[in-house]
Amino acid sequence: MTRLPTGDLRIRETRPLVSPAVLAEELMLDEDSAVFVAESRRAVEAILSGRDDRVLAVVGPCSIHSVPEASEYAALLREAAERNALDLLVIMRVYFEKPRTVLGWKGLINDPDLDDSFRINQGLKLARALMHKLASLRLPVATEFLDTTLGQYYADLVTLGGIGARTIESQVHRNLASGLSMPVGFKNRRDGDIQVAVDAICAARNPHWFPSLTKDGAPAVLGTTGNEYGHLVLRGGTSGPNFGSSHVRKAAALLHAAGLPPCLVVDCSHANSGKDAERQPEVAADLAAQLAAGERSICGFMVESNLVGGSQDYRARPLVRGRSVTDPCLSLEKTVPLLEKMAAAVRARRKANERR
């Protein structure tokens, strides 16, 4: 008697997936780079806790689609990072997964060839290889954790993690953040709601149990200790931007009321810039004025930046080298002066607070 199949009815194909341990062995972090990642995380924690008066500068492409281009960008960004190291801790955005509202390119890991071939094993290798290289360059990296299993492949290389606006209410992502080894930023919801992000930070500070994968790729239930370095990221929303001084004060008050450190990061892109990359310097200028006036709750800012400004369709051929295939970005040429101005604002805040 033949049993009628009831499972996997819409799965047309399965492919083997490399285990995190195998990939890590192939691209193993050397001792010096491991020390660098650990020290970078401690530096972020010091800024978030107010023990370091510098400001986080999370800068880089909306998404990575070319490892050679990202490597070139990283080398140039590192020069700017070194020049401003006394005032800014520059961390490169290295985002490999792209959340899509409906459809679109899902990022380097899912589709590294940008042709819907979905060579995920190759994408994972490229992703880890790039982070490995940036660790050797001594440039910290930030990434968003979208798929809750993929972090096992490269989380050991990440200095700063992120939970995006589309997944901020997800219990699974809050569980994940509670076990991640680095500080994690939580963006406000896409409609601009901040309280839900504050709730997520509180949830992630506590221990959780959840199913996931081990480094060997085996299914397991993981128990976490909680992550005390979750923090709020203001990115605006459909209700409007939220980078102004009144928004910053309101957000700091919500954090304080929840028993959390009143420390936040402001995204100069997304709804805060009206999705216009060229307006990011305007947002940064407002933040710089707040810093120079002595505002202490602003602990960092984010900028979407690439070698070349603007964006292009990922299906275009040939692609313009160094230009984003997702959200428009500010050119690196315009990003460097922005970093200089923010560094100057940090110095001004330092002097203003010394006089108090």
pLDDT in tens, the chain (356 residues): 678 889 999 999 999 999 999 999 999 999 999 999 999 999 999 999 999 999 999 999 999 999 999 999 999 999 999 999 999 999 999 999 988 877 889 999 999 999 999 999 999 999 999 999 999 999 999 999 999 999 999 999 999 999 999 999 999 999 999 999 999 999 999 999 999 999 999 999 999 999 999 999 999 999 999 999 999 999 999 999 999 999 999 999 999 999 999 999 999 999 999 999 999 999 999 999 999 999 999 999 999 999 999 999 999 999 999 999 999 999 999 999 999 999 999 999 999 888 76
209 part of a folded domain: yes
Q: What integer pLDDT is reported at residue 269 of this predicted model?
A: 98
Q: How far apart are CA 241 and CA 338, in angstroms?
A: 19
Q: What integer pLDDT is reported at residue 251 of this predicted model?
A: 98
Structural domain span for residue 339? 20-354
280 part of a folded domain: yes
3 part of a folded domain: no
DSSP designation for 329: B
336 part of a folded domain: yes
Q: What integer pLDDT is reported at residue 154 of this predicted model?
A: 97
Query: Nearest to residue 111, comparing CAs of 58, 168, 72, 63?
Result: 63
223 CB-near residues (< 8 Å, 6+ apart): 207, 208, 209
Integer angstrom CA distances of residue 8 from 11, 14, 17, 182, 188: 5, 10, 18, 36, 36
Any idea what the CATH number is for the domain that residue 240 is in? 3.20.20.70
10 part of a folded domain: no
- What are the tokens at 91? 């961390």
CB distance 257 to 223 below 8 Å: no
183 part of a folded domain: yes
Q: What integer pLDDT is reported at residue 1 of this predicted model?
A: 65
Q: What integer pLDDT is reported at residue 102 of this predicted model?
A: 76
Q: What integer pLDDT is reported at residue 137 of this predicted model?
A: 97
239 part of a folded domain: yes
Q: Kindly calculate the radius of gyration of the chain based on its CA atoms and give it in whole angstroms.
A: 20
What is the pTM for the complete model shown?
A: 0.97
Secondary structure class of 330 (helix, strand, coil): strand
Q: How far apart are CA 67 and CA 115, in angstroms?
A: 16
Q: How far apart are CA 294 and CA 305, in angstroms?
A: 27
297 CB-near residues (< 8 Å, 6+ apart): 248, 249, 251, 252, 255, 262, 263, 264
11 part of a folded domain: no
Secondary structure class of 69 (helix, strand, coil): helix
Number of domains present in the structure of the chain:
1
